[in-house]
Amino acid sequence: MAAPGAFYITTPIYYVNDVPHIGHAYTSLACDVMARFHRLDGRRVMFLSGTDEHGQKVEKSAEAAGMDPQAFCDRVSQNFRDLSGLMGYSNDDFIRTTEERHTRACQALWRAVIAAGNDDIYLGKYAGWYSVRDEAFYGEDELVDSPAGKRAPSGAPVEWVEEPSYFFRLSAWQDRLLAFYDANPDFILPPARRNEVMSFVKSGLRDLSISRTSFKWGIPVPDAPGHIMYVWFDALTNYITAVGYPDTASAAFTTFWPATHIVGKDILRFHAVYWPAFLMAAGVAPPARVFAHGWWTVEGQKMSKSLGNFIPPHELVAKYGLDPVRYFVLRELPFGADGDFSHRAVINRLNGDLANDLGNLVQRVLSFIAKNGDGQVPNPGALAPEDEKLLGASAALHATTRARVDRQELHTALEEIWRVIGDANRYVDAQAPWTLRKTDPARMATVLYALTDAIRRIAIVLQPFMPTAAGRILDQLAVPTGTARQLAAMGGEPKLVPGTALPKPEGVFPRYVEASA
């Protein structure tokens, strides 16, 4: 069990051969929001990302580039580390599977499975139809008959090849996995994905080939010269490497493991089936949760190499700004479902939600105070019921958003926040401080105080989603950094101190104006 109040969240390790696109950015961004949320909520957080650097493709790419595989990885993994900087990720560690600590962890995990004495790893033969030309294995059902014999779908000739391989006895784990899913109904989210995984497991499991002898770029299997670990055993282990495995008594491990894994739906099975089985076989606790998210389409079309419609994250950030991009991808699609990334939709969110609803709310209140309230935090009188209502709604966001974030429902968390932003705008109109200025200045001050305090709470809870913009709003309210910006401060102390000087207000979310044709 992880320590109480601790939270460990991981992105997948990205395949180092890939070029980062919006899909990678999205996965990490969701993790980043959860990591930031829980830190602000007073928990100890470990947020891990990294790169997957082994495998035949990397070996070949390095060769093609005329480089040593390690030097090649050093270069291309930088693309993903740069992404962290660009998107403002707050990851605590960035693991690379070519690091020595990872080799140690993988070999230790392997040995632990063997030491458990259940014969879960055994030596067999990996066999299949291989096309030298395609450099790929094909399943029997994929092959096409031709006069010259069996052919790959590409038309390339195939040959039956066999190589010695270690296998993981996954077939023996069906019942234990199903029992685990039953005992942990939230282990796989969203629920639809859980159903898919369970039906997959119920349909029967085959043993898994977990080593290769046909190439070299990988982690050596202990006591088995010529064998290197096959991708998944190597890659998945990164999640425990980073918390100190094999030292399961280490502070990091006892504090943080088990983790919440956020993955794309394409790799759900590996995380929700193979990984818990590996761990249980080695006597290590399985992960706490695996959450699978969906895919982005771009202007209604699937992202693909042939269409060349991958969106480089840096272009988006340059065009719209970092926080608007963060907001858009988290708000636009239900986390878990597929969604479309379109210029139109970004503009609508940016101008409608950010500039009009939130940005204008902050600006109308703060500039009113700057002009009519001596530029200070107003001094409130007794609160009226409608004041209490607004303040109560904004304070309640702490609990409601936490409940949403706990289930990875980041879009509904934002919905909750925007509901209160709407309340605040309606409150401004209903109270009409511009009228109170002439009729009842004391009441005006109370109204403005209620508004600044509501905005303070809204900005605090928005920090995980839009760290820079939310921070700027808090700056404009003269909220000191530190505990005053923790989520706990939404409920009570420290509050805004009447009379505190406020800086000159500046717009936080400018409208996006389309370049005129």
Partner RNA sequence: GGCGGGAUAGCUCAGUGGUAGAGCAGAGGAAUCAUAAUCCUUUGGUCGGGGGUUCAAAUCCCUCUCCCGCUACCA
Query: Shortest gap between Cβ of 91 and RNA (angstroms)?
Result: 18
Binding flag, residue 475, RNA (CB under 7 A): no
3-state SS class at 428: helix
Give the count of beta carbons closer than 10 Å to the beta carbon of residue 305: 8
Name the residue nearer to RNA (CB basis): 265 or 389. 265
Name the residue nearer to RNA (CB basis): 355 or 487. 355
81 and 94 Cβ atoms separated by less than 8 Å: yes
For residue 261, the cross-strand partners are 10, 290
Name the residue nearer to RNA (CB basis): 250 or 372. 372
Binding flag, residue 219, RNA (CB under 7 A): no
Binding flag, residue 15, RNA (CB under 7 A): yes
CA atoms within 13 A on the CB side of 131: 19
**Secondary structure, 3-state, 124-146:** EEEEEEEECCCCEEECHHHCEEE
42 and 198 Cβ atoms separated by less than 8 Å: no
Residues 399-418 that bind RNA (CB under 7 A): none
Query: Which residue of 81, 265, 402, 407 would you call a contact of RNA, by CB under 7 A?
Result: 265
62 and 69 Cβ atoms separated by less than 8 Å: yes
Query: Which residue of 78, 195, 468, 483 would you call a contact of RNA, by CB under 7 A?
Result: 195
Interface segment toward RNA; rule CB under 7 A; list 194-202, 250-258, 380-388, 474-482: 194-202
Binding flag, residue 215, RNA (CB under 7 A): no
Binding flag, residue 12, RNA (CB under 7 A): yes
For residue 337, the 8-state DSSP code is B
Name the residue nearer to RNA (CB basis): 3 or 371. 371
Q: How many residues belong to the site for RNA (CB under 7 A)?
A: 63
Dihedrals φ, ψ of 457, to 5°? -65, -40
Residues constituting the chain: 517
Name the residue nearer to RNA (CB basis): 57 or 111. 57
Name the residue nearer to RNA (CB basis): 17 or 379. 17
416 and 397 Cβ atoms separated by less than 8 Å: yes
Interface mask (CB under 7 A) for RNA, residues 116-155, using x and -?
----------x---------xx-x----------------
Residues 345-384 that bind RNA (CB under 7 A): 348, 352, 355-357, 359-360, 362-365, 367-368, 371
Name the residue nearer to RNA (CB basis): 45 or 208. 208
Interface mask (CB under 7 A) for RNA, residues 415-444, using x and -?
-------x--xx-xx--xxxx---------
Cα–Cα distance measured from residue 339 to residue 331, given in angstroms and rounded to the nearest whole number = 10
Cα angle vertex 361, ends 321, 496, to 5°?
100
Name the residue nearer to RNA (CB basis): 151 or 269. 269
**Is the bond into 464 cis (omega within 30 degrees of 0)?**
no
Helices (H), 238-359: 238-241, 251-256, 268-269, 275-281, 313-320, 322-332, 343-348
Distances (CA, A) of 277 to 236, 271, 282, 285, 357: 11, 10, 9, 10, 48
Cα–Cα distance measured from residue 20 to residue 294, given in angstroms and rounded to the nearest whole number = 17
Residues 43-72 that bind RNA (CB under 7 A): 52, 55-58
Query: Which residue of 117, 206, 504, 514 would you call a contact of RNA, by CB under 7 A?
Result: 206
What kind and span of H or E run contains 461? Answer: helix 441-462
Name the residue nearer to RNA (CB basis): 45 or 263. 263
Query: Which residue of 65, 337, 442, 497 would you call a contact of RNA, by CB under 7 A?
Result: 337
Site residues (vs RNA, CB under 7 A): 12, 15, 17, 52, 55-58, 126, 136-137, 139, 170, 192, 195-196, 199-200, 203-206, 208-209, 230-232, 235, 265-267, 269-270, 334, 337, 348, 352, 355-357, 359-360, 362-365, 367-368, 371, 422, 425-426, 428-429, 432-435, 507-511
